[in-house]
Amino acid sequence: MDRIRITGGAPLEGSIPISGAKNAALPLMIASLLTDETLTLQNVPRLADVQKLFHILANHGVDTAFQGKRTGEDELSGQTVNLTARAIVDTTAPYELVSTMRASFWVIGPLLARMGEARVSLPGGCAIGTRPVDFFIEGLKALGADIEIERGYVVAQARAGLIGNRVRLPKPSVGATHTLLMAATLARGETVIENAAREPEIVDLADCLIQMGAKIEGHGTGTIFIEGVPRLYGARHRVLPDRIETGTYALATAMAGGDVTLEGATADHLERPLELMRLAGAEIDVTNRGLRIRRNGHGIAAVDAETEPYPGFPTDLQAQFMAVMCAGKGTSHVTETIFENRFMHVQELVRLGAKISLNGQTATIEGVDRLKGAPVMATDLRASVSLVIAGLAAEGETEVSRIYHLDRGFERLEQKLSRCGAQIERVSG
C-alpha cells in the first residue's frame, strides 16, 4: 500500500496550479444523465472519486470520451471529458458502486426526472459522522415521487413525471440541494428550494444547467427558483477552481513558510478562511495569476475557528487549519459544527508532538515550538492532508500511510508540493 514520506523544514517557493473542484465536478458529471446530448466538461480533476463516478455513470449508459491536451498546457492541467447519456440502460445504482462514494447517491435526482424511476443504494463515503439522506427523500417526495426503502435501496417512482413544488430543507444541505436542483429542471411547473445551500459548487452546477437549457434563478442565495422545461441539451462548461485545494495549499505555505502563487485560484470563494490566515500571520495578495501566499520570518499566531455553512469557514478545511495551529504561538480553539465525528486526525497530530485536547465539538490547541516527524495514519480525506501539512514543518521524517484517502480529493499532491521545494515523495509497497 502506498505511503507518502516527508522530510520537514523546507519552505515552499514557486507556483501550484489549482485543479478543478472535486465537489463541483461530481454533480456536473451526474448532470449528464439529464440529457441525451453530449455534455463537455473542462478542467475535470484526475481523482479516485472522479474515476469511480465515471464507472458508476457507465453502468447507467453514459459514454465517456477524453480529449487530448492542448499545446502548451501544464502537465497538471485538468482533463476535458465528453459525457453522453444517449440512452439510460439501467436505473439501478447498486450497492457495490454507491457504497464506495457518497456523492454517487445524487444520481437519484436525474434518473427520476428523466426516466420516472430510480433504484439507488443507500450511500457510503468517509466515516466522519452521519449524513442522512432524509432531506433528499422528503424533497423528492414533495416533487411527487413515491419512495420506499427496500433492503438497503431507495426505490423511487414518478411515472407521470415530477411536479414542481416548494421544498424547504431543514438545514442547508449541499447534497440535497444538488439533487433537488437537478431533479427540478425537468419537473412540470415551478420549484422553489428554500434554505438551500449557497456553496460556489451549487452555483457552478446551476450555471451549467442553464447552459443546458434549464431556467434557474437565485442560485448562490438561500432560495432557488427553477421553472421546469421539457428537455435539456448538450453544453460545454469549465469546472470552477477547487477552493478546498486552494485553502489547503495556502495553509501549507503558512505552515512551512515561503512564497507560493496558487495559479487560477479565486479569493471570492474563501473570504473567511483567508481572513483567518491573515490573522495567523500569512500575507495574501490577489494577482492576475491567482493568489500569492507568503510567510517569511514571522511566527504563526494562534487564531480561533468555527466551521459553518458557506460563506463561513468550511468544515473541509478544519483539519488543515488545526495542523497549522499546532505551531501557533499561544492557545487556539477549533470548533466543528457540521459533522459530529471529524476530529479523528487529532490523535495522529499528537503523534507528531501536537498538544490538543477535546471537549465535545471543540478542540483546544496549545501551540508548540516544533513538531517532530513520526509514522502517522490517514483516517479520512481532509485528515490525510492535515498530516502532510504538519509533516512539512516537522523535524525529521514523517510517513503518512493509508493515502488512498488523499487520492480521493487531491490531484498529484506530491508533484505539486515537490516542485515548490518540499521534500516529499510517494513510496509504493
Per-residue pLDDT of the chain (429 residues; tens, 9 = 90+): 899 999 999 999 999 999 999 999 999 999 999 999 999 999 999 999 999 999 999 999 999 999 876 545 566 778 999 999 999 999 999 999 888 888 999 999 999 999 999 999 988 544 434 456 889 999 999 999 999 999 989 999 999 999 999 999 999 999 999 999 999 999 999 999 999 999 999 999 999 999 999 999 999 999 999 999 999 999 999 999 999 999 999 999 999 999 999 999 999 999 999 999 999 999 999 999 999 999 977 799 999 999 999 999 999 999 999 999 999 999 999 999 988 778 999 999 999 999 999 999 999 999 999 999 999 999 887 789 999 999 999 999 999 999 998 998 899 999 999 999 999 999 987
User: Do residues 193 and 310 both lie within one domain?
Assistant: no
C-alpha cell at 375: 509514522
Helix, strand, coil percentages in the chain from 3-state DSSP, rounded to 5? 35, 30, 35
State the pLDDT at residue 396: 98
Is 247 exposed, middle or buried, given 0-12, 13-18 or 19+ CB atoms closer than 10 A? buried
User: Do residues 295 and 314 both lie within one domain?
Assistant: yes
C-alpha cell at 175: 447534497
Q: Per the annotation, where are the binding residues for phosphoenolpyruvate?
A: 22-23
Q: Is 126 a catalytic residue?
A: yes
Q: What is the CATH number of the domain that holds 140?
A: 3.65.10.10
Last residue of a domain, one of 238, 263, 287: 238
Domain extent, residue 366, equals 3-19+241-427
Go through the chain and tell me how many residues it has.
429
Last residue of a domain, one of 213, 238, 263: 238
Largest CA distance in the chain: 66
C-alpha cell at 227: 421553472
Q: Is 297 left (phi over 0), alpha (psi -120 to 50) or beta?
A: left
Provide the β-strand partners of residue 363. Answer: 334, 358
Q: Is the pTM of this model over 0.85?
A: yes
User: Do residues 9 and 66 both lie within one domain?
Assistant: no
Q: Per the annotation, where are the binding residues?
A: 22-23, 102, 316, 338
User: Do residues 175 and 277 both lie within one domain?
Assistant: no
Question: Residue 429: which of 57, 1, 44 has the closest Cα?
Answer: 1
Last residue of a domain, one of 187, 210, 238: 238
User: Do residues 221 and 251 both lie within one domain?
Assistant: no
State the pLDDT at residue 416: 97
Q: What are phi and psi of 43, to 5 degrees?
A: 65, 40
- Total number of domains constituting the chain: 2
User: Do residues 167 and 291 both lie within one domain?
Assistant: no
User: Do residues 181 and 35 both lie within one domain?
Assistant: yes
User: Do residues 245 and 193 both lie within one domain?
Assistant: no
User: Do residues 172 and 245 both lie within one domain?
Assistant: no
User: Do residues 191 and 257 both lie within one domain?
Assistant: no
Q: What are phi and psi of 422, to 5 degrees?
A: -70, 140
C-alpha cell at 184: 427540478
User: Do residues 261 and 228 both lie within one domain?
Assistant: no
**Active-site entry in 126, 208, 326, 420:** 126
User: Do residues 106 and 175 both lie within one domain?
Assistant: yes
